[in-house]
Amino acid sequence: MTNILIFGHKNPDTDSICSAVVYNNIKRIQGMDTEAVRLGELNDETKYALEYFNVRAPRLISEVSEGQNVILVDHNEFQQSANGIEKAVIREVIDHHRIANFETSGPLYYRAEPLGCTGTILKKIYEEQSVHIDKQMAGLMLSAIISDSLLFKSPTCTLRDRIAAEELASIAEVNLEEYGLAMLKAGASTKDKEAQTLISADAKEFILGEDKLVIAQINTVDAKEVVERQIELTDAINKEISKRGLSAFVFVITNILTSNSEVFVLGDKKDKVANAFGKVLTNDLMTLEGVVSRKKQVVPQITEEFMK
């Protein structure tokens, strides 16, 4: 059995997958017995990045066993992690999100930085530890930054993220803008996806006081295409609310071309979610102009409202 498993959050996005692979690479170079794994299916955007740079997808796991050594990337909250995580031995965390619902029985290496992407932190680690960044690893870190920053449109994107992306694009030998737009568009198609796939592809669970919410997000080039499937989406979301005992399910549909989001909200406390943005739901829907970042423009506002 591999000594240490490295993985990102459930319903993995490009940063989660790429960061696991990239951090596993540096650990293996340093002689550690590690393996990058994943906690869910790959989305089309991530598949594009892995195929472009000829990198094999990490092995899929559903849970971790008691005493298993693990390293978490791109997350820390236990409800977003592997089943059984509370019984595992967490050796390290590399993350760029808020710290919540996290506790360990022993000391660990914890690195959290207010940057737009875990990939940017990993580039710093490679440089700090004088480890060579090859074309494949540069391509994966670049892909992660593009994904999390929506090609630098997200307010979470920092100058360090942009500089890192430019340097990584040079190493990966790609045109930053051309590759970035192609990768984002690869993950933006929604026509052939079932409603359940759309609402679960990038969904994260949050515990806010006594309430449990799921905030899901998809990126698209045509939000109307998704909104028109409201009956189908409502049925799928209500099933999730019932099954998981949610106070609300928030589904953010972000247009990567206009940088606006249409948001479906269902559940007993859907109006409380709308209040967080000073909005009133119309047919369970609201428009948030200029909102593209779940981490910075959605989660903090909802958290503040629910924790009053």
Q: Which amino acids are annotated as binding site for Mn(2+), given as ranges?
A: 9, 13, 15, 74, 96, 148
Lookup: tokens for 198? 């759309």
Give the pairing of strands 203-208 and 211-220.
antiparallel
Backbone angles phi and psi of 87, in degrees to 5: -105, 0
The angle formed by the CA atoms of residues 95, 96 and 102, to the nearest 5 degrees, is 55
CB 76 within 8 A of CB 7: no
12 three-state secondary structure: coil
d(CA 126, CA 128): 6
| Nearest in space to 117 (alpha carbons), one of 157, 80, 155 | 157
Q: Which residues are annotated as a binding site?
A: 9, 13, 15, 74, 96, 148
> Which alpha helices (DSSP H) does 129-204 contain, by range?
135-149, 159-172, 176-186, 195-200
Beta strands in 245-306 (DSSP E): 248-255, 260-266, 285-288
